Chain A
Amino acid sequence: MMPQWTPYLVGLPLLGFLLSGLLGLLWPRYRRWEIGIGVLAVSVVALAFLLALGLFVGLPQEELPLRVVLYQWIASGDFAAPIAFRLDTLSLWMTLIVTGVGALIHLYSIGYMRGDAGYWRYFAYLNLFIAAMLLLVLADNLLLLFLGWEGVGLCSYLLIGHWYADREKAFAARKAFVVNRIGDFAFLIGLLWLFREVGSLDLGVVLDRAGAIESTALGAIGMLLFLGATGKSAQIPLYVWLPDAMAGPTPVSALIHAATMVTAGVYLLARLSPLYVLSPGVLGLIALIGALTALLAATMALVQTDIKKVLAYSTISQLGLMFLGAGVGAFSAAIFHVFTHAFSKALLFLGAGSVIHALEGEQDIRRMGGLSRHMPLTYCTFLLGALALAGLPPLAGFFSKDMMLTAALGSGHEVLWFLGLVSSLLTTLYMGRLLVLVFHGAPRAPAVSRAHEAPAVMRLPLVGLAVGAVAAGWIGWPDLLGHGAWNWIGRWLSDSTADLEHGLSLGLEALSIALSVTVAVGGLWMAFRLWGRAGLEADHMLQRRLGGLYALWQSGYRVEAIYERLFVRPLLQGSAAPLRWSERYIAGGLIGLASRSAFFIGSGIRRLQTGLLSLYALVMLIGALGLLAWFLWRSL
């Protein structure tokens, strides 16, 4: 396969977007032709996946990285930004994840969105989402990467707000957008600074010259870019948008959580890992933030009652683990976790979508239960996904999680390692709780008895993803086995990432693995015991036992309220005050002054608002005075 085909990876989904968008916009009858729209959208992404697969198989690892230049985008003076793509082990791997999982989610959407008024719009945006994410992943230039970065943000806004007629959902979309913009802002500043230091934004140049950057500047750039990553990847302090982003259609949540959007932050860290390993302080902070996010989000996931919210907090927690991995220098392990997590989380979301679909929109797990009898396939796949996410060996999640945790232990971050372990335990608990409350026990709502399996077009992706959730981890066995000989993924990715090597004694590694396995098995056993027996009562019992702590978890550590009080309200009031002032002053002055200054032109014409006019002239004069004073001061 020729590397010249690379632009089509981005081009195909973009073409899908343009076709669906234009046809839907200009030809109303096309909007109702659901089969055509769906097939078009799925086939472009599937084709992109096949193309990526071809590149993956056809290009020997030795030939990477490759640079494929499409054309010169900006060339002004000494600055040039070509539209160029970078093919290396990292970008190729991410492309496979995005297109593979993305194609399955597209397929699922055909069934899920049936009958929706915005069917064509939905698929057009979905294709654009994939295109933007692929651009982000494949870009060889950080400016181009930023284009994809912004595009992903815009698409998430459009898709979360798909049902924009609902005020709350439109608000959730806007919240996601605004919070992301904060991160993007830091990201952009970081980029500008980087450009100032290096003189180029080409990845090759940036990574080559990273060592030449002065260390404080490097640290600051690293921090700014990291802040951008926390926005996209929903980490502390910018995670608040992700739970609300559940307002979108469920497949969109799956896409955001598994394949696109949130993985962008982890990808960015891995992509710039040669830069990050040079500033250990920033890396330490990343690890700390990751570990804290993992722990806090896991506790919040434990107390949610909305099936999608549990999964949302779970994603934040898993992303925290990935950041922990990246922070201790195990970038390839973090990407490996992106890979395994993509399968299990997409599976869980699509499974949840099936459940919601079957229960006619019900999302509250307190009104579910006993669904396993009515939806056996969904149950089986959901079970596999949950167990994989909980890190039960030999399912996929175990391998990647273990790789990150051993790296944390090996790098000497024992405390962070412990935090990671605790959040793993919590993961098993909330996954077990979710599984039991949704599928086991007695039905707690009449709708459950009417539930039925989804159509085949929705079942097929579940099976496909379940296979991945089971087997995806087998490409990265722990170093314990064959001294890394069986760790294929590590060898593949470390071509592109600058992993820190930690000499961890085999004994310690074995201990870590043993603890992980114990935690996984023990946690699941505990969860099944607790919720399997008592059902919802277990929640109440926990609430009684934990008291204030439980309430704190339920309120999400009051972060939303704190943000509201610290930022949102002062900002609103801050902007309201000048408005009120201008209203009072201008409108008040208008009436008072206009009545005092009689100034008629002709008959029957209302009084000219001379008060306002003189105010305008006054402001102008003050400005002029300031300008002149400045010039005078400068020339003296």
Chain B
Amino acid sequence: MDYYRIAFYLFGALTVLAAVVVVWSRNLIHAGMGLLLTLFGVAGLYALAAADFLAVVQILVYVGGIVILLLFGIMLTQRIAGRAPRTGVVNRTVGALIATGLFVLFVMVIFSARFAELPWIAQGRMIDRESAPPVGSTVERLGQLLVGPYLLLFEVAALVLTVALIGAAYLARRSRQEGARPRRMIS
């Protein structure tokens, strides 16, 4: 077993175990910490897949940004609710059955896929042997693709973020009209 594999399984185990904590922990803070570790593990997997830029972004945005925000949110609302935020698990039996079913199904299917024999991967390998892939940072290529063929996608993604921003601003801002005027309708 080479180091690559060891690292892969380590990150994989970290991701899965931390995810288990997220789901099963009754303490929201613990769950948040678990989420942090899960996302970190995923970043490691990205790095192992030679997607270095993605791994960095994952850590910067998710681990460094989103989860921290989440944890702040939890800690702040804890004050308001007046007791430790806890979650419960409902629909235990049916949920477990379905989850097991889905899990078995996915495992079966993924193992039966035999990726190496898929036409596009097999062909890709043959091409790769002729001209070796460029080794090094993927940032440059990603950048070129994003402003090249995928420019439109990039722009639409920008629109998604704009919409989310407007929506968040609307939902979070202080009442303007409904506070100022009586909450009653003309009828």
Q: Do A596 and B90 touch across chains, with their CB atoms under 8 A apart?
A: yes
Interface stretch, picked from B79-87, B126-134, B137-145, B148-156, is B79-87
Chain A residues with CB under 8 Å of B86's CB are: 598
Contacting residue for A629 out of B77, B80, B85, B105, CB 8 A: B105
A420-444 contacts to B (CB < 8 Å): none
Bound-complex Cα distance A601 to B102 (A): 31
Question: A576 at interface (Cβ–Cβ under 8 A)?
Answer: no
Any chain B CB within 8 A of the CB of A579?
no
A611 in contact (CB, < 8 A): yes
Q: Is A614 a contact of B90 with CB atoms below 8 Å?
A: yes
- Residues on A with beta carbons closer than 8 Å to the beta carbon of B95: 614, 618
Contact digits for B85-96, partner A, Cβ 8 Å, 1 yes 0 no: 111101100110
B118 within 8 A of A: no
- A628 an interface residue at 8 Å Cβ cutoff? yes
Residues in A whose Cβ lies below 8 Å from that of B98: 618, 621-622, 625
Which residue in chain B gives the minimum CB-CB distance to A624?
B102
The reply on A361 being an interface residue by CB < 8 A is no
Q: A602-B80, A603-B80, A621-B98 are in contact. Are A615 and B105 (CB under 8 A)?
A: no
Once the chains bind, are B90 and A610 in contact (CB under 8 Å)?
yes
A449 contacts the other chain (Cβ, under 8 Å)?
A: no
Residue contact B91 to A614, C-beta cutoff 8 Å: yes
- A625 and B77 CA atoms in complex are apart in Å by 36
Check A71 for interface membership: any CB of B closer than 8 A.
Answer: no
Flag whether A53 is at the interface (Cβ < 8 A): no
Cβ proximity bits A524-537 to B, threshold 8 Å, 1 near / 0 not: 00000000000000
Of the candidates B80, B90, B94, B109, which one forms a contact with A611 in the assembled complex, judged by CB atoms under 8 Å apart? B90
User: B124: CB under 8 A from chain A?
Assistant: no
Q: Which residues of A contact B91 (CB under 8 A)?
A: 614-615, 618
Interface residues of B in 99-129 (CB under 8 A from A): 101-102, 105, 109
* Chain B residues, CB < 8 A from A614: 90-91, 95
Whether A632 is near chain B, meaning CB under 8 Å from some CB there, is: yes
Docked pose: A598 CA to B85 CA in angstroms? 8
Minimum CB distance partner of A613 in chain B: B90
Say yes or no for A215: interface residue by CB 8 A criterion.
no
CA distance A610 to B102 in the complex (A): 23
Known A-B contacts A602-B80, A618-B95, A632-B109; A597 and B90 likewise in contact (beta carbons under 8 Å): yes
Interface size class, chain A: 20 to 34
CA–CA, A308 and B86, complex, Å = 73
Residue of A nearest to B109 (CB): A632
Indicate with 1 or 0, residue by residue over A34-65, a CB within 8 angstroms of chain B CB atoms.
00000000000000000000000000000000
Q: How far apart sit A168 and B80, CA to CA, in the bound complex (Å)?
A: 59
Q: A600–B87 contact, CB under 8 A? A: no
Smallest CB separation, A559 vs chain B (Å): 47
Within the complex, the shortest CB–CB distance from B82 to chain A, in Å, comes to 9
How far, in whole Å, are A615 and B87 apart by their CA atoms in the complex?
A: 16
Residues of chain A with a CB closer than 8 A to B77's CB: 600-602
Contact at A628–B105, with CB atoms within 8 Å? yes
User: Given A598-B86, A603-B80 in contact, is the A632-B105 Cβ separation under 8 Å?
Assistant: yes
Whole-angstrom CA separation of A168 from B117 in the bound complex: 73
Residues of B contacting A621 in the complex (Cβ-Cβ under 8 angstroms):
98, 102
Please pick, from A598, A603, A628, the residue contacting B88 in the complex, using a CB distance under 8 A: A598
**A488 beta carbon closer than 8 Å to chain B:** no
User: Chain A residues near B109 (CB, 8 Å)?
Assistant: 632
Task: Kindly state the separation between the CA atoms of A300 and B1 in the bound complex, as whole angstroms.
Answer: 94
Report how far A599 CA is from B81 CA in the complex, Å: 10
A586 within 8 A of B: no
Contacts of A603 in B (CB 8 A): 80-81
CB within 8 Å of B: which of A582-617? Answer: 593, 596-603, 610-611, 614-615
- Inter-chain CA distance A599–B90, complex, in Å, is 13
B-side contacts of A622, CB under 8 Å: 98
Nearest to A597 among chain B residues (CB) is B88
Q: Cα distance A614–B85 when bound, in Å? A: 19
Give residues of chain B (39-84) contacting chain A, Cβ–Cβ below 8 Å. Answer: 77, 80-81
B80–A599 touching, CB < 8 Å: no
Residues of B within 8 A of A602 (CB): 77, 80
Which chain B residue shows the least CB distance to A598? B86
CA distance A593 to B87 in the complex (A): 12
Q: Please, which residues of chain B bring their CB within 8 A of the CB of A618? A: 91, 94-95, 98
Q: Please, which residues of chain A bring their CB within 8 A of the CB of B101?
A: 625
- Residues on the B chain within 8 Å of A600, using CB: 77, 80-81, 85
Q: How far is the CB of A119 from chain B (nearest CB, A)?
A: 33
CA distance A303 to B86 in the complex (A): 75
Minimum C-beta distance from B65 to chain A (A): 22
Q: Name the distance in Å between B8's Cβ and chain A's nearest Cβ.
A: 27
CA distance A614 to B102 in the complex (A): 17
Shortest beta-carbon distance, A564 to chain B, in Å? 39
Q: Are A625 and B102 in contact (CB under 8 A)?
A: yes
Question: How far apart sit A429 and B107, CA to CA, in the bound complex (Å)?
Answer: 82
Q: Which residues of A contact B90 (CB under 8 A)?
A: 593, 596-597, 610-611, 614
Q: Specify which chain B residues have a CB less than 8 angstroms from the CB of A601 in the assembled complex.
A: 77
1/0 contact string of A492-515 vs chain B (CB within 8 Å):
000000000000000000000000
**Quick one: given A603-B80, A618-B95, A621-B98, are A596 and B88 in contact (CB under 8 Å)?**
yes
| A4 nearest CB across to chain B (Å) | 56
Scoring A593, A603, A621 by chain B CB atoms within 10 A of each residue's CB, the highest score goes to A621
Given A593-B90, A618-B94, A625-B105, 9 more A-B residue pairs with CB atoms under 8 Å apart are A596-B90, A600-B77, A600-B80, A601-B77, A603-B81, A610-B90, A621-B98, A622-B98, A624-B102
Q: Which B residues have a C-beta under 8 Å from some C-beta of A?
A: 77, 80-81, 85-88, 90-91, 94-95, 98, 101-102, 105, 109
25 contacts between A and B (CB under 8 A): A596-B88, A596-B90, A597-B87, A597-B90, A598-B86, A598-B88, A599-B87, A600-B77, A600-B81, A602-B77, A602-B80, A603-B81, A611-B90, A614-B90, A614-B91, A614-B95, A618-B98, A621-B98, A621-B102, A624-B102, A625-B102, A628-B102, A629-B105, A632-B105, A632-B109
Task: Point out residues on A near B: beta carbons under 8 Å.
Answer: 593, 596-603, 610-611, 614-615, 618, 621-622, 624-625, 628-629, 632
Instruction: List the 9 closest pairs (A to B, CB-CB), nearest first.
Output: A597-B88, A614-B90, A600-B81, A621-B98, A593-B90, A614-B91, A618-B91, A625-B101, A603-B80
